[in-house]
C-alpha cells in the first residue's frame, strides 16, 4: 500500500520557538494532503487541507498564521507551528490522497508527530 | 457538537469471540463511512468502508453494517484475535471525496 512518512516523530521545543513537521508520500503523488491534530482521548480534528501549489484551506478556529502549511510538491507538505506554546503540545498527523486513485475516500496516514512545548 | 460519536471508549473481548464496535452520526448528509485502526504511536490505517447505497460490506473477518434510518453503523470482527487490539476510529464524509469527520475512537482489547 501507499506509504506516508512524517518527520520528526517526536519533538520537544521551548516556548516561543517554531517547529516544522514534514509529511512525505514515499511511493505515490499526493495532490491533496490533510493535517490533523489529536488531543488525548479525543478524536482526530482536521486542521487544514493543502493542495499542491495552492494555499491551504483551514478549518474554522485554526489560526493560519500560527499553523503554516506549505505543499510545495506532489510528495511533500510541511506544517510549521510558529511561536509554539505549551497549549500547542499535541499529536499531529498528516494524511494524503493518492493522485488519480479511484474515489474511495481512503486516506493514507503518516505515523504522527508528537510535539511537546516546554 | 459531535457529528460522529463512538460512545464506548473501550471494549474488551475474548479471543475467538465477536467484537462489535458501534458508531452513531447526526449529519444526514453523510453518505460515506470508514473505519480506521490505530496502534499506539502510529498513524491510523484504513480498514473498511461503506457507502450509503449499501447496508453491509464484508472483507474477511471485518464486516461493517449501516443503518441509515437510525444513523448508526457498526464494525463486526469475527473471530477476534489479540492482534486486533487497537483503537478503532469511525469516520464519515459527505461523498467519497469529502473531508472525514472522526469519532473519538474505541479501544479494543482482545484477550487470549
Q: Which three cell numbers stand for residue B66?
A: 449501516
Q: Which three cell numbers stand for residue A69?
A: 502549511
Write phi, then psi, for A38 (nearest 5 degrees): -130, 120
- The arithmetic mean of pLDDT across residues A73-98, rounded, is 92
Q: Which of A32, A105, A109, A114 to mutate to test the interface with B (most CBs of B within 10 A)?
A: A105
Distance (Å, rounded) from C-alpha A104 to C-alpha A100? 11
pLDDT band for position B97 (cuts 50, 70, 90): low
Q: Does A108 touch chain B (CB under 8 A)?
A: yes
Q: List pLDDT tens digits, range A12-47.
A: 899 999 999 999 999 888 888 999 998 777 778 889
Say yes or no for a CB contact (<8 Å) between B99 and A93. Answer: no
Say yes or no for a CB contact (<8 Å) between B43 and A111. Answer: yes
Q: Which three cell numbers stand for residue A116?
A: 511537546
Q: List pLDDT tens digits, range B15-72.
A: 999 999 999 999 999 988 999 998 877 788 889 999 999 999 999 999 999 999 999 9
Which of B30, B13, B11, B32 has its CA nearest to residue B22? B11
Which of B70, B95, B90, B107 has its CA nearest to residue B5? B90
Taking chain B, what is the end-to-end CA distance rounded to the nearest angstrom?
38
Q: Which of B2, B42, B102 has the CB atom closest to A44's CB atom?
A: B102
Least Cα separation, residue B45 to chain A (angstroms): 7
Q: Which of B2, B9, B49 has the CB atom closest to A105's CB atom?
A: B49
Q: Which of A42, A103, A112 has the CB atom closest to B96's CB atom?
A: A103
Amino acid at each position: 500500500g501507499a506509504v506516508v512518512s512524517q518527520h520528526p516523530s517526536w519533538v520537544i521545543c521551548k516556548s516561543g520557538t517554531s517547529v516544522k513537521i514534514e509529511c512525505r508520500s514515499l511511493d505515490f503523488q499526493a495532490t491533496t494532503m490533510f493535517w490533523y491534530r489529536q488531543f488525548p482521548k479525543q478524536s482526530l480534528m482536521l486542521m487544514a487541507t493543502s493542495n499542491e501549489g495552492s494555499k491551504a484551506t483551514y478549518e474554522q478556529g485554526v489560526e493560519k498564521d500560527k499553523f503554516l502549511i506549505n505543499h510545495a510538491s506532489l510528495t511533500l507538505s510541511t506544517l510549521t507551528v510558529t511561536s509554539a506554546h505549551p497549549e500547542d503540545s499535541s499529536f499531529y498527523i498528516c494524511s494524503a490522497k493518492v493522485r488519480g486513485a479511484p474515489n474511495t475516500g481512503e486516506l493514507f496516514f503518516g505515523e504522527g508527530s508528537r510535539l511537546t512545548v516546554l | 457538537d459531535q457529528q460522529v460519536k463512538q460512545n464506548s471508549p473501550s471494549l474488551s473481548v475474548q479471543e475467538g469471540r465477536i467484537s462489535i464496535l458501534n458508531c452513531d452520526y447526526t449529519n444526514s448528509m453523510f453518505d460515506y463511512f470508514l473505519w480506521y485502526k490505530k496502534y499506539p504511536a502510529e498513524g491510523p490505517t484504513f480498514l473498511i468502508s461503506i457507502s450509503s447505497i449499501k447496508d453491509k460490506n464484508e472483507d474477511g473477518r471485518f464486516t461493517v453494517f449501516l443503518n441509515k434510518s437510525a444513523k448508526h453503523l457498526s464494525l463486526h470482527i469475527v473471530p477476534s484475535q489479540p492482534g486486533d487490539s487497537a483503537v478503532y476510529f469511525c469516520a464519515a464524509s459527505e461523498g467519497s471525496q469529502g473531508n472525514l469527520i472522526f469519532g473519538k475512537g474505541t479501544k479494543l482489547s482482545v484477550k487470549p
